Chains A and B, each alone.
Chain A
């Protein structure tokens, strides 16, 4: 961890933090938890910056965030993770609110697949690689998750348009 890497790391981290926290928020439904998740990932990235800087730090940190969230969820899945209205987050439009709450009803992996595929717009292969599952599993999770979303939030009929 060479001090000479500090500037490039901090420039990169500042430019990515808001997007990463948004993604983490969609995964967790909790803004503070999202910040914790991203902060932990950034600390890990800093510790490895000597090697990450010359590679693909965006993909690496995205993987860390997703996998840490899934791991965390597996440990704490009995805990209520989301609140209907996160006081830290400004009010969103009604549709966004319904969708956000519906996402919170999915399993961690289903949610991760949907966020990666349809919010971050990643290809199937990249999604599979980040989550450590096969492309076939990604398709299956996405299909099941979308079907569940349609059940949980039938008012969002436009979700039917999510097809790849």
Chain B
């Protein structure tokens, strides 16, 4: 058997070319339509995005049913802030590029606290997924020299970085790294680390508080809670998309695909029916939201579904919701139909400011760290990271 023989691999006939021309035409027209209908759609539908909320201290509390679609102005409150797609490529040219330089070994040169942690740009090598550098508050880089780290992977063998956007603790003193059948917690202030037994193909960690990590396990609907005090692992009702506020509030972002096929207002410029949907996650990978006492910030988007078998997967963004009411407070577009899928990593929420990293179109190995004031809509680039993954809010 030679690889070239795969050219003859039998496949069913396809007809994907049919309609491509018309779809392209509609997509172009849709760009204008989106501007007109987006606010209506977002306001009308994003309210149900938060599928479970709680301000309690234990997830066993009954999840709230999806809220009825609220009207943002029914009670006289401020309409949501809609921030159109920034030109991330242009913004990336206005800020410095940050590259790990001359990192020292963390075990020999610990930090008071880390500003951020990164994995280097993915280059196809396994070490891309297990190399983690942290930037100390003194402005110097350290290499997290934990021996024996392996990439996280799923049952299909697909590998990923040990660093996730939620790996760095809120105070920047500890770093949690998921591993198969374990979690490694690095004390960045001493350079030491401890490995905890957590059965399963663990793929992400979220800091619940100083003493507990929520560990998501590949294939498991619910996450585990690891008690760092005694190393015990317990079941929880949390899911991989549960985020925690400093005061202990938690929000499960949930996943909705809220289509409104009967909405007569949704037609494209040429009269074709358009079925809009606001989804609270762009893809199948669950992402925990950023949470504070007032709002939850997650990944979401607007899809326009055309008739037939073709589905547009367009215009992702960052919705900000009042997590108690489900009301949309703001939305930032991070993608348009022509840029394709764009990575967005949510990094931090500080008052009105959301910090996130976005993959810049055409610059796959670089992430643009950006701040967005969701109340005013102001977008401010911070720096470009030559990194494949980042955690922390510089």
Contacts and interface: CB of A to CB of B under 8 A. Distances in A.
A18 B341 contact: no
A15 B305 CA distance: 27
Pick the most buried of A39, A100, A144, A156: most chain B CB atoms within 10 A of its CB. A39
A110 B1 CA distance: 19
B154 A78 contact: yes
A77 B123 CA distance: 15
A158 B343 CA distance: 39
A90 B23 CA distance: 29
22 contacts: A10-B17, A13-B21, A18-B11, A20-B16, A38-B14, A71-B340, A71-B359, A75-B343, A77-B158, A78-B154, A78-B160, A78-B203, A79-B158, A79-B283, A89-B12, A90-B10, A90-B11, A96-B5, A107-B159, A109-B124, A159-B1, A162-B2
A119 interface: yes
Interface stretch (B24-32, B70-78, B205-213): B24-32
Interface in A80-104: 80-82, 88-90, 92, 95-96, 98-100, 104
Pick the most buried of A21, A43, A49, A96: most chain B CB atoms within 10 A of its CB. A43
B14 A72 contact: no
Given A22-B7, A107-B124, A90 B12 contact: yes
B17 A42 contact: yes
B218 interface: yes
Contacts of A6: 21
Interface of A: 1, 6, 9-10, 13-14, 16-18, 20-22, 25-26, 31, 35-36, 38-40, 42-47, 49, 67-68, 70-82, 88-90, 92, 95-96, 98-100, 104-105, 107, 109-110, 114-115, 118-119, 121, 132, 137, 141, 144, 156, 158-159, 161-162
Given A47-B24, A79-B154, 4 more contacts: A77-B154, A78-B160, A78-B218, A92-B10
B156 A81 contact: yes
Contact of B1 (A26, A72, A74, A99): A99
Contacts of B25: 1, 46
Contacts of B338: 44, 47
Interface string B310-329: 11010000000000000000
A159 B4 CA distance: 10
A76 B284 contact: yes
B1 A77 contact: no
A34 to B, nearest CB: 8
Interface in B285-332: 285, 310-311, 313
Nearest to B7: A119
Contact of A132 (B3, B310, B313, B364): B364
B3 A159 contact: yes
Contact of B157 (A14, A71, A105): A105
The 7 closest A-B pairs by CB, nearest first: A46-B24, A13-B17, A118-B3, A95-B1, A42-B20, A109-B124, A47-B24
Nearest to B313: A40
B122 interface: yes
B203 to A, nearest CB: 5
A98 B154 CA distance: 19
B6 A96 contact: yes
B264 interface: no
B1 A96 contact: yes
A68 B341 contact: yes
Nearest to A45: B20
A150 to B, nearest CB: 12
Contacts of A35: 14, 16
B60 interface: no
A85 B196 CA distance: 36
Contact of B16 (A21, A68, A89): A21
B2 A159 contact: yes
Nearest to B17: A13
B21 A10 contact: yes
Contacts of B156: 80-82, 104-105
B20 A13 contact: yes
A79 B5 CA distance: 28
A95 B340 CA distance: 35
B171 interface: no
Pick the most buried of A21, A45, A95: most chain B CB atoms within 10 A of its CB. A21
B13 interface: yes
Given A77-B159, A89-B10, A114 B3 contact: yes
Interface string B139-177: 000000000000010111111100000000000000000
Contact of A119 (B1, B3, B12, B13): B3
Given A118-B3, A119-B7, A156-B1, A46 B124 contact: no
Given A80-B155, A99-B1, A75 B285 contact: yes
